[in-house]
Amino acid sequence: MENNTFYNEILTDHNMHPAHKRKIENANYSLEGINPSCGDDIILSLRVENGVIEDGAFEGDGCAISQASADMMLDLVIGKTVEEAERLSDIFLRMIKGEVTDEEKDELEEASVLSDISHMPARVKCAVLGWHTVDSILEESKKQ
């Protein structure tokens, strides 16, 4: 029960007081991510300079899980290199499938509370929306 309370507190906090739900100036990458099965819709914007994610934000609407997950993801990747962010995204997506070590899960900090989403198949797409969107942006950034 304690873990469930912790999960709810983190989701509620990121949903009610998202640190990264805003518009950023000078974003050089922006991409819309949509989950058509439930209507989650985010626009993720990043400012990447010299291979480092200097700033990031998202706008849009969706369920508490999609919004909190996007906010937690930005907490993790801002200040990281593109390669570090890609690694964190890989760990998150493998965590959702139950394929990570405890050490890898710890690297995800608060985002690790979403590990039990795998037991709620209808919510998996909500949790991974921001992560798949950032993967697409990071892939694009490496082409330039």
- Cβ–Cβ under 8 Å, residues 67 and 21: yes
Q: pLDDT tens digit string along 25-57?
A: 899 999 999 998 889 999 999 999 999 999 999
pLDDT bucket at 2, cuts 50 / 70 / 90: very low
**Does pTM surpass 0.85?**
yes
Pick 72 or 143 by higher pLDDT: 72
Q: Identify the CA nearest to 51 among candidates 76, 85, 4, 6.
A: 85
- Hey, which residues does 81 pair with through a beta bridge? 52
What is the structure's pLDDT at 27?
Answer: 97
Average pLDDT over residues 118-137: 93
Q: What is the CA radius of gyration of the chain?
A: 14
**Residue 26 CB: number of other CB atoms within 10 A?**
9
Per-residue pLDDT for 120 more than 80?
Answer: yes
Q: pLDDT tens digit string along 82-112?
A: 999 999 999 999 999 999 999 999 999 999 9
- Cα 78 from Cα 85, distance rounded (Å): 8
What is the structure's pLDDT at 134?
Answer: 98
Per-residue pLDDT for 65 more than 70?
Answer: yes
Per-residue pLDDT for 116 more than 90?
Answer: no
Q: Above pLDDT 90, what percent of the chain?
A: 80
Report the 3 state secondary structure along 35-95.
ECCCCEEEEEEEEEECCEEEEEEEEEECCHHHHHHHHHHHHHHCCCEHHHHHHHHHHHHHH
